[in-house]
Amino acid sequence: MKQIKGGVTAAKGFEAASTAAGIKYEGRTDMALIYSQVPCEAAGTFTTNIVKAAPVKWDQQVVASGKRAQAVIVNSGIANACTGKEGFGYCKDTAEAAAEALGVSAEGVLVGSTGVIGKQMPIDKLTAGVRAMAEKKDSSLESGTAAAKAIMTTDTCEKELAVEFEAGKKTVTVGGMAKGSGMIYPNMCTMLAFITTDAVISKETLQKALSEDVPDTYNMISVDGDTSTNDTVLLLANGLAENPEIIYGSQEYEEFVSALHTINEYLAKKIAGDGEGATALFEAKAVNCEDKAQAKTLAKAIVCSNLTKAAIAGHDANWGRILCAMGYSGAQFDPEKVDLFFESAAGRIQIVKDGTAVDYSEQEATKILSQPEVTAVADMKAGAVSASAWGCDLTHGYIDINADYRS
């Protein structure tokens, strides 16, 4: 497997476009299209929030139907959540507009929305945007990147990646793009992710691959502890690589899963590091744990602790906040066995040994915590299982962005 340039248009047969439809923002693109030249097998995972946005309900319906998908229409600015039957109707209107403009079945059009909750969609602007994108879509890497930019809200940078691997002497490509910056919490967050592949693979196998990977990637990130109404990850496979079908459990399946994991983990970490107001990606590793459940619970507790996140923002090695978060996480462990470390590109330092502080240099700790990517490592000395979670520091910038988000 190797990383290549591009995102959603890197795989054969996929095209993209973007446009400035004026949904909410002025002077910037706010709609994106992903299109496949042939119908695709579709898999998806969605928000665990009981309050689900209309696009989530629409996409769940499309994915569950087993029908092949051929296009995804995304807008940034209005979430189309808590909008009742009218909002769901706008999903249908969007799909029908895309079907007419692209010459595809409306039953195979997926939709995505992100932005302010409670506002109805300006459907005329949305359908005009669909028609505009249909006319200028293409398979260039630049169009893929432009689509990744168009779905941003408070994000500060686009998020995309592509990789390729060999399967049956054929080159298979997987590419993806995502958005997410605020309302991010494990178990699917305020994020949209769209992944494309030219692999020949069944719908059932595609869904297994996605469902098994999400718990270790997108569900291990947190920015602010809020689980969104709109979280969606969609995975489309059009089969144009013409590889022998990837069978669940085969070596080719493992290679596909590895490629998918690379995409998902990269996008998840980019979302975490681009948290609203963030200045640093904050990773927590729980190592040498009894089992996976303990490891994941402890790692997530650390990155979700607002006090710890604030300490990271201040480059302060306030390790007591980490142990405190671990203690209320619900995981059972022996506090008197725990070792804590901080590490970054500037070095590694031990802060705690067997549950108590060691004689460490505050100056050295501050230097390590002043990097744009910082890791806290909790060594439980209880087994051989590890897990990682990703978040960001908590700064005044988060309040500045969210105090007047609707304006």
Please give the pLDDT value at position 51.
Answer: 87
Considering the domain architecture, whether residues 322 and 197 belong to the same structural domain is answered as: no
Cα–Cα distance for residue pair 381/11, rounded to 1 Å: 43
Query: Is 190 one of the catalytic residues?
Result: yes
Q: Which residue has the higher pLDDT, 97 or 118?
A: 97
**Final residue in a domain of this structure, among 253, 273, 293:** 273
Considering the domain architecture, whether residues 76 and 199 belong to the same structural domain is answered as: yes
Question: Which structural domain, as residue segments, surrounds residue 57?
Answer: 2-273
Considering the domain architecture, whether residues 234 and 129 belong to the same structural domain is answered as: yes
Cα–Cα distance for residue pair 223/406, rounded to 1 Å: 19
Q: Is residue 349 part of a domain?
A: yes
Percent of the chain predicted with pLDDT > 90: 79
Considering the domain architecture, whether residues 226 and 303 belong to the same structural domain is answered as: no
Identify the band that residue 178 occupies on the pLDDT scale cut at 50, 70 and 90: very high
Which of 29, 190, 197, 205 is catalytic? The answer is: 190
Q: Which token pair is 56?
A: 């989530």
Cα–Cα distance for residue pair 109/21, rounded to 1 Å: 19
Cα–Cα distance for residue pair 396/401, rounded to 1 Å: 9
Considering the domain architecture, whether residues 240 and 285 belong to the same structural domain is answered as: no
Q: Given a cut of 70, is residue 73 above it in pLDDT?
A: yes
Backbone angles phi, psi at 245, to 5 degrees: -55, 135
Residue identified by tokens 């802060």 is 351
Question: Per mean pLDDT, which range of 24-33, 162-171, 214-223, 311-320 is the poorest?
Answer: 214-223
| Longest CA–CA separation in the chain, Å | 69
Q: Is residue 109 part of a domain?
A: yes
Considering the domain architecture, whether residues 228 and 300 belong to the same structural domain is answered as: no
User: Of 201, 210, 257, which is closest to residue 233 (Cα–Cα)?
Assistant: 210
Please give the pLDDT value at position 228.
Answer: 60
Q: Is residue 407 part of a domain?
A: no
**Final residue in a domain of this structure, among 211, 241, 273:** 273
Q: Total structural domains in the chain?
A: 2
Please give the pLDDT value at position 406.
Answer: 59
Q: Is residue 333 part of a domain?
A: yes
Q: Is residue 295 part of a domain?
A: yes
What is the H or E stretch that residue 288 is in? strand 281-289
Please give the pLDDT value at position 36.
Answer: 98
- Across the chain, mean pLDDT equals 92
Question: What CATH number did the domain enclosing 386 receive?
Answer: 3.10.20.340
Q: Given a cut of 80, is residue 225 above it in pLDDT?
A: no
Q: Given a cut of 50, is residue 140 above it in pLDDT?
A: yes
Q: Which token pair is 222?
A: 């947190």
Considering the domain architecture, whether residues 161 and 293 belong to the same structural domain is answered as: no
Percent of the chain predicted with pLDDT > 70: 94
Question: Per mean pLDDT, which range of 164-178, 274-288, 344-358 is the poorest?
Answer: 274-288
Please give the pLDDT value at position 273.
Answer: 76
Q: Is residue 250 part of a domain?
A: yes
Identify the band that residue 26 occupies on the pLDDT scale cut at 50, 70 and 90: confident
Question: What CATH number did the domain enclosing 104 receive?
Answer: 3.60.70.12
Average of per-residue pLDDT across 73-93: 94
Q: Which residue has the higher pLDDT, 24 or 246?
A: 246
Average of per-residue pLDDT across 242-268: 97
Identify the band that residue 44 occupies on the pLDDT scale cut at 50, 70 and 90: very high
Q: Given a cut of 80, is residue 383 above it in pLDDT?
A: yes
> Per DSSP, which regions of 205-280 are E strands?
232-237
Please give the pLDDT value at position 89.
Answer: 96
Q: Given a cut of 90, is residue 279 above it in pLDDT?
A: no
Inter-residue contact 226 to 183 (CB < 8 Å): yes
Average of per-residue pLDDT across 15-31: 93
Average of per-residue pLDDT across 89-117: 95
Considering the domain architecture, whether residues 378 and 265 belong to the same structural domain is answered as: no
Q: Which token pair is 342?
A: 């901080």
Q: Is residue 13 part of a domain?
A: yes
Please give the pLDDT value at position 231.
Answer: 82
Considering the domain architecture, whether residues 118 and 232 belong to the same structural domain is answered as: yes
Please give the pLDDT value at position 278.
Answer: 74
Overall size of the chain counted in residues: 407
Question: Per mean pLDDT, which range of 162-166, 242-246, 326-330, 398-402 is the poorest?
Answer: 398-402
Considering the domain architecture, whether residues 297 and 204 belong to the same structural domain is answered as: no
Please give the pLDDT value at position 188.
Answer: 39
Cα–Cα distance for residue pair 357/340, rounded to 1 Å: 9
Q: Given a cut of 50, is residue 275 above it in pLDDT?
A: yes
Considering the domain architecture, whether residues 297 and 393 belong to the same structural domain is answered as: yes
Residue identified by tokens 């696009």 is 55
Q: Is residue 167 part of a domain?
A: yes
Considering the domain architecture, whether residues 244 and 343 belong to the same structural domain is answered as: no
**Final residue in a domain of this structure, among 224, 251, 273:** 273
